[in-house]
Amino acid sequence: MGMIRDWHKERLAQELAADRSAEDANLAAGYERGRQTKAGWLANCRKRCNAKDVQARLSELRARAAELAEIDAGYVLLKAKRLLGYNLADFLSEPDANGHRYITIAAATREQLETLSELSQDEEYEDGSEDEPPTVIRKIRIKPHNQVALLELLARCLGMVRPDKVSLTDAAGDGAAKIIHEVRWQEPTDQAGKAA
């Protein structure tokens, strides 16, 4: 397809490819809100962003960016699946004489460490008695990636999540829905069913 001739639309596609919101992308592309209501402005922003030529160019730009980064949908799915493989048992030592297990990363593989979003270690000193030196207490804190967010990402990538509909549209999908409220007045009746 190549660049869109209308530079506003081309810039809009580029801004969307850079993960800007529909409203921000429209403003960066030179579209102005003017006297439109907020709802009207947002509807027009979405409409411009969903235009066939803009979407085709956006797909082209995203494909090229993924090609340059050597990232495709399969890579994203595989990476998310690996991050979901967190298991606390991978970071626990064998039980000691008292049956206690401790957090350790000594035997963790690179893939297991990859499942962590945070790893920290604090040291504290406990005063010993007159005969014993102070005791060093090491506290290791590990935190996995957000499992719920990863599952949501996988569900979206696999098309398992239906997109949210932001506004009501008519049957053709290109205009605002017309909502008609019909109010009828009914004459009051007595108990026998006759009009009063």
Q: Which domains does the chain have, with CATH numbers?
A: 7-71 (1.10.10), 81-149 (no CATH)
158 pLDDT band (50/70/90 cuts)? Answer: confident
% of the chain beyond a pLDDT of 90: 25
The letter for the amino acid at 140 is: I
% of the chain beyond a pLDDT of 70: 83
Locate tokens 């990363």: which residue? 105
H runs (alpha helix) in the chain: 7-17, 22-28, 38-49, 52-69, 73-83, 110-114, 147-157
Q: What is the mean pLDDT of the chain?
A: 83
- What is the model's pTM? 0.43
The letter for the amino acid at 185 is: W
Residue that wins the pLDDT comparison between 155 and 100 = 100
pLDDT of residue 138: 83
Instruction: Kindly tell me if the per-residue pLDDT of 128 is higher than 60.
Output: yes
